Amino acid sequence: MKKLLYLAPIALIAACSQPSAEETAFHVTLNYPNIEGQTVELQVSTDKGFEKADTETLVNGTVTLDVDSLEYPTLMLINLPDSRERFLVFGKSGNLTINASKEGAQTKHTYADGEFAEALNGYFNEKMNFQMNSQQLNQEFQQASMMGDSIMIVNLSQGFEKMMAQHQRALIDIAKENGAFGAFIALNELHSAEALTLDTIYQNIPVSAGKSPMVSELKQRVEVLKRVRIGEPLVDVAQPDTTGQLMRLSEQLGDSYTLVDFWASWCGPCRAENPNVVKAFELYKDKGFTVVGISLDRGKEEWVKAINDDNLTWAHMSDLQFWDSEPAAKYGVRSIPSNVMLDENGVIVAKDLREQELQDWLAERLN
């Protein structure tokens, strides 16, 4: 009993002691030599978009901006309206320093201090390296195309796929190791990641960041992707067909397999993949294979024209809501082309089969 009486006052003091305003404030210092007199804004991400939290002027190449209190780690921007430059900021309290410099027409920047400085540096270094390598590969691809070197084109395409996979793995590693910043990376970069990967990122986020809208969105995305994993039954959707009649996905299943194809008339990679889907449909339609196209178009005229131009002679549906497409949301689709393969019972048996992989998958099962 004496021990309890001793601890109670300490608990009371701890409960009544709130952090000071200075302890909860967030300060961002921008060091940008030779850039004088520019207005600098600190903008904070809210459910209404980015809102201005502070405005100061660069003096002697430096400026500090503040936001009084943030409930959770938050995405922010340092905005220079005159030069139209922006620097990503992420944090909750304490200090963050951005060191920027002009190198010709290019602006480079690094982060120091602050809880997420290392994460921000790692993220932008990975992005910059990937961009540089992509540009080099693109130049080689253009040269190979001009020379008509088909072997080199194939090798470069495979090289890009390998490079993209490495880039995604690097971003996943950064996301897993950096708490709430991982939610930002997952939602903005890892569009094709599966539920297990995203759930690992989510599980590494501290509970204290749980009220963050980005963390909540990541949690919802994980739940959606778990619902459409391989082995799960289809998520049924009903949308208008090209005549305006309501069509239900569950009523369009083939006798063997059904490819649910998310695409749009405005999507170049989708249109490039369409001949491959047409080939698969023509080869295996007599063996119970069919396709259901779900478009993320906005206009009916463009949608129907693309169907006719590309000879897509299977069932089609769309709510014409672009990225607000209800079926896309239910299947966790954040980039297109994307697809889901269903068996005759409506169970998901494969995802994102494209190019030769689609042909091989069907040949193995239907030939």
Q: Structure pTM?
A: 0.82
pLDDT at 8 over 90: no
pLDDT at 27 over 70: yes
Looking at residue 19, its pLDDT comes to 47
CA atoms of 336 and 268, how far apart (whole Å): 10
Class of domain 238-366: alpha beta
Interval 112-161: pLDDT, tens: 998 999 999 999 999 999 999 999 988 998 898 888 888 988 888 888 88
Looking at residue 23, its pLDDT comes to 60
Q: Residue 28 corresponds to which amino acid?
A: V
pLDDT at 9 over 70: no
Looking at residue 47, its pLDDT comes to 85
H helix or E strand, kind and range, residue 76: strand 74-80
Q: How confident is the model at residue 326 (pLDDT cuts 50, 70, 90)?
A: very high
Interval 191-216: pLDDT, tens: 989 999 999 999 999 998 988 999 99
CA atoms of 221 and 194, how far apart (whole Å): 10
The architecture that CATH gives domain 20-113 is Sandwich (2.60)
Looking at residue 161, its pLDDT comes to 87
As a whole number, mean pLDDT of residues 64-80 equals 94
Interval 148-177: pLDDT, tens: 888 988 888 888 889 999 999 999 999 999
* Cα-based distances in Å from 350 to 22, 83, 160, 215, 341: 53, 48, 23, 28, 5
pLDDT at 11 over 90: no
CA atoms of 283 and 171, how far apart (whole Å): 39
Q: How many CA atoms does the CB half-sphere of 38 hold within 13 Å?
A: 22
pLDDT at 81 over 50: yes
Break the chain into its structural domains and give their ranges. Answer: 20-113, 121-227, 238-366
Interval 98-115: pLDDT, tens: 999 988 888 999 999 989
For the four alpha carbons of 233, 234, 237 and 242, in that order, the dihedral sign comes to negative
